[in-house]
Structures are given as C-alpha cells and as structure tokens.
Amino acid sequence: MVGWLYEQLQNLGLSAGGAVIVVRGVAFIGVLITAWIANLLARRFMVRAVHFLVSRTETDWDDVLIGRGFFHEAAHLAPAVVVYLSAPLFGSAQGLAERLTLVYVVAIVLRAFGRLTEGALDLYNRTEISREKPLRGYVQILQIALWIVGMIFMVSTLLERDPWGLLTGLGAMSAVLLLVFRDSILGFVASVQLFTNNMVRLGDWIEVPAYAADGDVIDISLHTVKVQNFDKTISTIPTHALVTGTFRNWRGMKEAGGRRIKRAVFVDIGTIRFCDEELLDRFERYAEISEYIRKKRAELSEGAEGDPPINRRRLTNIGTFRIYIEAYLKRHPMIARDMTLIVRQLAPCERGLPIEIYCFSRDTVWANYEALQADIFDHILAIAPDFELGVYQQPSSNDLSRLLTSRAASGQPA
C-alpha cells in the first residue's frame, strides 16, 4: 500500500523527497485514525462486553474492578498496540515512535495497576481485620515505588540508556529525593509504627488536642489520618503527628465494656449534723441502707449507756448519705460491679464538701451514657433533702432579691 502510493506520487511528477514526506504524513494520519477507532472499539464495545459478563458473576472482586475503572484504563492499551505495530511506516522515525509508545504503555500499566491495588484495598476494607490493621498507607507506598521505577524505565527508554546507569546517578540525588519525599518517608515510618504497635484503627474514637480533633477515625493513609469530629466536621492530621505527639484513644474503654462516671455533688457544710433517733428511724425504712442502719445502731449502742453524747460514736447524715449512694449504685443494673466503684469525700472548698461518685457505666454509647449519668444525679440531688442535706449553689440575683424582700416584709433593715 505504501509502495503503491509512493509510485503514484512519483508518476504525478512529485520528487522523491516530497513523495516520502507525503507518504509518511498519510501513514501518520492513517495510524492516528486507526488508533482512535481501536480506542473507540475497546472502550465502547469490549469494555461494555466485559461489564456485561461481570454483572452475571456472583463474585465481588470483578465488580470492585469495574467500580475502580480498571477495565477502562486497560482499554487505553488498544491504540498503543496499533501505533507500535504501525511504527515501521514512519521510516527513520520508527525508533522514536516505538519508544514513545513504550513510555505510553508503561504509564497506562502503572495507572491500571493503581486501580487494581485500590480495588484490592476496597475488598480488604470490607473484612473485619481491616479495622485493626489498615493497609492504605502501604498500598500508597507500593504505588509510589512502582511509579518511581516506571519513570526511571520511561526516561531510560526515551534516552536509550541502561536503567541501571540512571539508578546509579540517583545516588547523587539522594539528598534531593529525601527533601522531596520527606513527608512520604515520615508518613511511611509513622504508618509502620502505628500498625506495629496497634495504636490506631479505623473506627477508633481519638482525641488530638493539638489539632482540635475529637471523633472517629474514618481513614488512615500514608500522609494523613482523617477524623470525623462529633460535630460532623473533618480534621486531617499528619500521620507522623500521632507518633511524635500525644493523643488519646478511647478504644480501651469500648473493649473494657465500661465508661467512667466521675462527678461530684457539693454539699452545704452548714447542713451536716449527727443523726438523732428520729432520723435513724427514717433511714431504716430505706431498702438500700436498712440493714446497714440496723447493724450500726446495734454496734453503737453496746456499752454506750450513760455516756454523754459527746463521748459516743454517732452516725452523721453525710456519712449515711455516702453509704446510701454507694448502695444505690451497687444495685443499679447499668453500673458495672466488676469495675471500680467508689463514693468518696474530697477536700472541703469554698463551694462546700464534694461527694464524688466514681464508677463505670455498662453502656459505652455516648447518648445512653449521658442519659444514665443524668438519671443517677437526678436521684442523688432529689434524695439529698431526705438526709437533711443541702446541695450548694452559688447565690444568684434572684436569691438576693428574695432575701431583701423577706427582710423588708419582716421589718428588718436591708
């Protein structure tokens, strides 16, 4: 065909050099048109046929490859094959055409392999173990390494030089490469440490104060860790920052099955007093402490007859209140009995005497935990007057207004 066209052009009186140029131009245009048609056929017919066949299978991996566009990327090889096979038509430019085609093929293979690895990662992320051992960072390292090797091969192909010679020359550029890939190197080392030490998993609730992050880990990659905060914003944290800095991981709380409740009620010190018999009689009717009151009354009554009150051991309303709270918590079905449970007094302060409740909820879900904590303190605040105890609250303007009104009504000076 080429020879026939060359002869016809010479018969028309065209010089040999001009005929060669025209023939090569026609061949070039013909190759481009053929490559375009091959690309069209591969994308519109072959890829659709593959998609149709894949939709008929019951496996998941091929569906993932479709979703990641693997077959679309692979279809780009069709025009490359046409150009490479047609390279002899370009005459002296055959070598350049073949080298450019090989560079294009390497780039397409690398892109297709990237889609393949992303699809494999999608399948891995569907497994339960992926939450404990995320592999996105390692996949990204593999992709970067392959692209580096591929670029070396492409440059060596274009320059017609040995790839090993280029690799030897890269030794002198190591400092520049370290600077360029500094974040990638730091991220890779940090990913290895996170993976090896099991520091962070997908779905973990972490707090990173330095980055104002407080929420669930939704992605772990080579360079960043994404945290969805509880206000639905996204915080992006450098991977190496989790290793070089500090953060809190709440996974241990979830695995332990108990979430800590640590809160204090401030009792007005002016309402603390000894219990008299009438008050003890009332306490003895409370199911939580009835047995305790009976034992204590029997214990304290032994050998106490005739002693003045100052020399006797007596119960106080604050001590009994503390025992009541502890018994109430021990009987509560949502409080973990196999974990620490303490009701203790802290040092008195300007707001009164703190009675701290330290225990663990069986339910670690945030909403349920807060509801349980509110129910417990609702009960404690409501039962405190039964022990003739007042809960401290700083005076407000309404309190001062009522005090002034009361004084004025009684004829007392303000």
Chain centroid to CA 70: how far? 28
Higher per-residue pLDDT: 80 or 344:
344
pTM of the model: 0.56
CA dist 338 and 361 (Å) reads 11
User: Model confidence at 5, in pLDDT bands (50, 70, 90)?
Assistant: very low
Per-residue confidence (pLDDT) for residue 15, from 0 to 100:
47
- Is the predicted pLDDT of residue 170 greater than 70, yes or no? no
User: Helices 136-159 & 94-125, crossing angle to 10 degrees?
Assistant: 180
- The predicted model gives 279-292 an average pLDDT of 90
- The predicted model gives 327-343 an average pLDDT of 93
> pLDDT averaged over the chain?
79
> How much of the chain exceeds pLDDT 90, in percent?
24
Per-residue confidence (pLDDT) for residue 368, from 0 to 100:
93
Please list the residues that pair with 215 across neighbouring strands: 206, 229
Q: Mean pLDDT check: name the lowest of 106-120, 294-308, 396-410.
A: 396-410
User: Model confidence at 243, in pLDDT bands (50, 70, 90)?
Assistant: confident
User: Model confidence at 148, in pLDDT bands (50, 70, 90)?
Assistant: confident
Phi, psi torsion values for 340, nearest 5 degrees:
-60, 130
Sign of the torsion angle spanned by Cα atoms 128, 131, 136, 141: negative
Where are the domain boundaries for CATH 3.30.70.100 in the chain?
A: 257-303+312-399
Higher per-residue pLDDT: 409 or 330:
330
CB 354 within 8 A of CB 265: yes
CATH architecture of 257-303+312-399: 2-Layer Sandwich (3.30)
DSSP-derived secondary structure for 259-307:
EEEEEEEEEPGGG--B--HHHHHHHTTSTTTHHHHHHHHHHHHTT-TT-
- Amino acid identity of residue 333, one-letter, is P
CB 223 within 8 A of CB 187: yes
- Is the predicted pLDDT of residue 360 greater than 90, yes or no? yes
Per-residue confidence (pLDDT) for residue 2, from 0 to 100:
45
Q: Mean pLDDT check: name the lowest of 49-53, 97-101, 150-154.
A: 49-53
Per residue in 56-100, pLDDT (tens digit) is 777 777 677 777 777 777 777 787 777 777 777 666 677 777 788
Per-residue confidence (pLDDT) for residue 272, from 0 to 100:
92
CB 94 within 8 A of CB 84: no
Maximum CA extent, the chain: 145
- The predicted model gives 312-318 an average pLDDT of 85
Closest by CA to 353, choosing from 314, 326, 322, is 322
Residues of the chain by 3-state class (helix, strand, coil), percent to 5: 65, 15, 25
Place of tokens 């390494």: 145
User: Model confidence at 9, in pLDDT bands (50, 70, 90)?
Assistant: very low
- Is the predicted pLDDT of residue 147 greater than 60, yes or no? yes
- Is the predicted pLDDT of residue 42 greater than 60, yes or no? yes
Per-residue confidence (pLDDT) for residue 304, from 0 to 100:
54
Higher per-residue pLDDT: 367 or 197:
367
CA dist 227 and 197 (Å) reads 19
- Is the predicted pLDDT of residue 166 greater than 70, yes or no? no
Per residue in 369-400, pLDDT (tens digit) is 999 999 999 999 999 999 999 998 877 666 66
Closest by CA to 115, choosing from 66, 44, 179, 185, is 66
CB 275 within 8 A of CB 315: yes
- Is the predicted pLDDT of residue 296 greater than 50, yes or no? yes
- Is the predicted pLDDT of residue 215 greater than 80, yes or no? yes
Higher per-residue pLDDT: 254 or 214:
214
